[in-house]
Amino acid sequence: MGRSVLLIEDEPNIIEAISFLLERDGWTVRLHTEGEGAVEAVAAASPDVVVLDVMLPGRSGFDILKELRQGAARPDLPVLMLTARGQTKDRELAHSYGVSCFMTKPFSNAQMLQTVRDLAEGRAPPADP
Amino acid sequence: MVKPRSLTGSRIRERRLALGLKQADVARDAGISASYLNLIEHNRRRIGGKVLNDLAATLDVSPQVLSEGADAVLLDDLRAMTDGPAEVARVEDLVGRFPGWAEQLAEQARRIEALEQRLQRQNDRLTHDPVLSDRMHDVLAAVAAIRSTSSILVDNPDIDADWRARFHSNIDTESRRLAESSGAMAHHFDRLMSDGTSGSDPLEAVGRMLAARGFHIAEIEERGAEAIDALLDTLGDSGARDLGRGVLERYAQDAALLPMPGFIEAGEGCGFDPARLAALTGAGLARVLRRLAAMPRQVGLPEFGLVSCDAAGAVLLAKPCTGFALPRFGAACPLWPVFGALRQPDMPIKQRVQTSDGGVFEVYAVAERVGPASFDAPLIVQATMAMVAAEGSTEDALEIGATCRVCPRQACAARREPSSLSGEVLTAPEL
């Protein structure tokens, strides 16, 4: 079985683009489209990498990240946070909660793809683009 | 020591002569004898309180201008604008020798203060405006989808026809969304900018509107709440209009419950004592204090100042009172009873105070809940304080100031910042 990504995102056309890119790169993409139940979805999917939006219906990506890091199961699970909220305070908050990489929208496809690969292979998290 | 300011009696004489009035006529209108006025004008009698107020009303001038001189406000402004001890002791020399430059300097400081406040308001709006945040999110999400999707089409010329069609459709959808979101954001910016064009703090704008009427709004006294809309037309900024509506509606309620003619008559019967007025009329003490401050400036009526603040100590409304300085810059003296009242809502405070200029005032303060009691809502409290010139003992008077920056009481335990007066003690105005 190939490597898998759990994409937690609510924008349908961004979901379609990211899914297309990752699947073409050989990833199995699973999807969760709201904040509620996201932590349970991670536990159920057991992905190699999580791509996490910040502004989700029901619950913010920051809260989800915080709970993931507090969970004992996979504290080192790579999480790429992808957000339109690129302010310094958001970036600092994400890092204080233990994000692996913080990327702002709009993003480069190549950069996003390379970051997911790096995170899955345990390479040092790249500097935030 | 600071030079004594010119004399009150001389200023009264100058003002009377400038208006072309006879001493006997002014004395009669002010309710005193011509010989007594003659003594006053030659600085052979000290005056204050009621006599000063009556003469000021007769001469159609602020009592403060008579007692402290027109320069007093300018001097306080100049002292307040300094950050350090830079030649503050010579500020009166500056005003005396270069009055035009001194006024220009103070005016520029006022403008800088206003601009800084405006900048801070705009900054707060841009940082915390939820509508702007949502619009920005929509724009960036649409741009992200378009950029990512179009890159896929460019980087994959051999893409399956079905995928190509879906991606074309997605770009079309997102570009429409981008157009709508960016248009809505531009509209929102337009609204933000038009609200900010007046450049003034809404509280200040409302305060100016009230001050221009001497805090006595004849239109509402005569016609009640129906006069409010026309008064609001003088406030351009929508924030000021909203704030002003609340203030004027409360004024109209006060006026309806305590019509001014009857209120003054009751006041004259009890020496304008707020507690007795509250008992006589059945009105709340805060309402009585507001009505006292709303009395017209006319011979025979005492001059009440007013300050109201919220639970954070932010001053919401301030009516100056001769000899009781209100700060133009920075926060007020923390010893003012209005702040003490906040600690015990519904517990009235009566306190004799002495200002740093030597003025003695009787001060009444009370904090009351705003709005109806509720199990589900937080307790919102506002405090109201009225002050009136007093005569008699200062033995138990609380020593207060206007604001730390211009207060000479160096050893005050409540001091929050150094005084720009650097140890210099001001002389009381010569009366």
ipTM: 0.89
Identify which of B137, B173, B174 has the shortest CB distance to residue A84.
B137
* Phi-psi group of A37: left, alpha or beta (phi > 0 → left; psi -120 to 50 → alpha; rest → beta): left
Q: Which amino acid is at B56?
A: A
Query: Quick one: pLDDT at residue B387?
Result: 95
Query: Quick one: pLDDT at residue B124?
Result: 75
Query: Quick one: pLDDT at residue A14?
Result: 95
- Radius of gyration of the CA atoms of chain B, in A: 28
| Shortest alpha-carbon distance between residue B168 and chain A (Å) | 11
Residues B205-220 have a mean pLDDT of 87
Residues 6+ apart with CB under 8 A from B92: B2, B3, B71, B75
- Give the pairing of strands B381-389 and B360-369: antiparallel
* Cβ–Cβ < 8 Å for A41, A6: yes
Q: Which of B287-301, B320-334, B415-429 has the lowest average pLDDT?
A: B415-429
* Cβ–Cβ < 8 Å for B167, B152: yes
Q: Which of residues 64-93 of A touch B (CB under 8 A)?
A: 84-85
User: What is the sign of the dihedral through the CA atoms of B23, B25, B26 and B27?
Assistant: positive
Rounded Cα distance between B254 and B224, Å, is 10
From chain B, pick out residues whose CB is under 8 angstroms from the CB of A21: 148, 152
* Phi-psi group of B339: left, alpha or beta (phi > 0 → left; psi -120 to 50 → alpha; rest → beta): alpha
Rounded Cα distance between B216 and B213, Å, is 6
State the pLDDT confidence band at B169, using cuts at 50, 70 and 90. Answer: very high
B274-281 vs B285-293: helix crossing angle, rounded to 10: 110
Closest CA to B385 of B307, B284, B305, B328: B307
Helix, strand or coil, per DSSP, at residue B253: helix
Query: Quick one: pLDDT at residue B197?
Result: 46
Rounded Cα distance between B103 and B255, Å, is 38
DSSP, res B176:
H
| Shortest alpha-carbon distance between residue B176 and chain A (Å) | 13
What percentage of residues in chain B have a pLDDT greater than 70? 89
H helices of B236-372, where? 238-257, 260-269, 274-281, 285-293, 337-343
Rounded Cα distance between A117 and A8, Å, is 17
Helix, strand or coil, per DSSP, at residue A31: strand
Q: Which residue of B has its CA nearest to A21?
A: B152
| Shortest alpha-carbon distance between residue B149 and chain A (Å) | 6
Q: Which residue of A has its CA nearest to B170?
A: A13
Q: Which residue of A has its CA nearest to B144?
A: A106
Identify the architecture of domain B8-101 in CATH. Answer: Orthogonal Bundle (1.10)
Residue B335 or B197, more confident: B335
Residue B111 or B164, more confident: B164
Rounded Cα distance between B223 and B14, Å, is 39
State the pLDDT confidence band at B398, using cuts at 50, 70 and 90. Answer: very high
Identify which of B136, B140, B155 has the shortest CB distance to residue A106.
B140
* Cβ–Cβ < 8 Å for B369, B341: no
Residues B342-358 have a mean pLDDT of 90
Query: Quick one: pLDDT at residue A120?
Result: 93
Query: Quick one: pLDDT at residue B419?
Result: 76
Q: Which of A98-107, B41-50, B63-72 has the lowest average pLDDT?
A: B63-72
Residue A111 in this model has a pLDDT that exceeds 80:
yes
Query: Quick one: pLDDT at residue A73?
Result: 74
Interface of B with A (CB under 8 A): 136-137, 140-141, 143-149, 151-152, 155-156, 163, 166-167, 170, 173-174
From chain B, pick out residues whose CB is under 8 angstroms from the CB of A84: 136-137, 140-141, 144
| Shortest alpha-carbon distance between residue B167 and chain A (Å) | 8
Query: Quick one: pLDDT at residue B252?
Result: 95
Does the distance separating the beta carbons of B155 and A14 come in below 8 Å?
A: no
State the pLDDT confidence band at A126, using cuts at 50, 70 and 90. Answer: low
Residues B57-78 have a mean pLDDT of 74
Residue B81 or B135, more confident: B135
Rounded Cα distance between B18 and B110, Å, is 30
Residue A83 or B365, more confident: B365
Rounded Cα distance between B133 and B140, Å, is 11
Rounded Cα distance between B317 and B203, Å, is 8
| Sole residue written with tokens 């809309």 | B229
| Shortest alpha-carbon distance between residue B330 and chain A (Å) | 29
Query: Quick one: pLDDT at residue B428?
Result: 35
Identify which of B145, B155, B163 has the shortest CB distance to residue A11.
B145
**CA A122: distance to chain centroid?**
15
State the pLDDT confidence band at A129, using cuts at 50, 70 and 90. Answer: low
Query: Quick one: pLDDT at residue B426?
Result: 36
Cα distances (angstroms) measured from residue A71 to each of A65, B244, B387? 10, 53, 61
Angle formed at CA B323 by CA B331 and CA B308, multiple of 5 degrees: 40
Residue B260 or B106, more confident: B260
State the pLDDT confidence band at B68, using cuts at 50, 70 and 90. Answer: low
Whole-model pTM? 0.52
Q: Which two tokens stand for residue A7?
A: 């994409």
Q: Which domains does chain A have, with CATH numbers?
A: 4-120 (3.40.50.2300)
Phi, psi of B352 (to 5 degrees): -85, 135
- Radius of gyration of the CA atoms of chain A, in A: 13
Residue A32 in this model has a pLDDT that exceeds 80:
yes
Helix, strand or coil, per DSSP, at residue B389: strand
Rounded Cα distance between B70 and B353, Å, is 24
Does the distance separating the beta carbons of B173 and A17 come in below 8 Å?
A: no
- The CATH classification number of B297-431 equals 3.30.450
Closest CA to B218 of B247, B251, B243, B246: B251
* Cβ–Cβ < 8 Å for B402, B325: yes
Please write the tens of the pLDDT for every residue from A33-89. 999 999 999 999 999 999 999 999 999 999 999 999 988 678 889 999 998 877 788
Please write the tens of the pLDDT for every residue from B367-381. 999 888 888 888 899
Rounded Cα distance between A105 and B261, Å, is 67
* Cβ–Cβ < 8 Å for B406, B76: yes
Strands lying side by side in the sheet with B398-399: B315-319, B304-310, B381-389, B360-369, B349-354, B398-399
